Structure 1
Amino acid sequence: MPEISRFFGISIKMYFGDHEPPHFHTEYGEHKAVVDIHTLVVIGGYLPPRVLGLVVEWASQHQVELLALWKRAINQQPLHKIPPLS
């Protein structure tokens, strides 16, 4: 699963050929979650509230790019990195 961004110890990843709805995976320490790209809501797993806030802030800044990467991932095409939250 390619890592598409990393910031403040948070890893953001996408699987190739993954299932709908469009989403990305996050990891922070022992916590893991899946976040819907359209709604920016956790659809699986758990992140501490502060970490979730950072992830949602980052994703809201890159939502269009995340959707483009999702299309690439489901078509088994290479993914590029998205800049971290600064």
Structure 2
Amino acid sequence: MVTVRRFGKARITILTGDHLPPHFHVDTPEGELCVDLTSGEVKGDKTARRSGKVALEWAAENRDSLFTIWQELNP
């Protein structure tokens, strides 16, 4: 697991050797979110979404970079 960026108590991670579709995780004290890099779909509960809001906003602006990192870690 690689931590791509931290936002207070939330962090964006990408797992090595992970399954398709390309995605990343937002880990928060309230839970984990899984975000599909292709569709942008966010899976996880509303509490985790609220606490991961800043991370999700940053990820939306940096989606291409996250996809490149996912490809490097999951050839």
Are the equivalent residues in 2 in contact too, given 1:40–1:59 (CA < 8 A)?
Answer: no
Cα 1:47–1:8 change in 2 (3 A) is farther
Unpaired stretches in structure 2, ≥5 consecutive residues? none
Higher helix share goes to which structure?
2
Are the equivalent residues in 2 in contact too, given 1:38–1:63 (CA < 8 A)?
Answer: no
Are the equivalent residues in 2 in contact too, given 1:9–1:28 (CA < 8 A)?
Answer: yes
Q: Name the count of aligned residue pairs.
A: 74
Structure 1 moving runs of 4+ over 6 Å:
none
Unpaired stretches in structure 1, ≥5 consecutive residues? 76-86
Q: Percent identity at matched positions?
A: 31
* RMSD of aligned residue pairs (Cα, Å): 1.7
Are the equivalent residues in 2 in contact too, given 1:35–1:42 (CA < 8 A)?
Answer: yes
Give the TM-score taking structure 1 as reference length.
0.73
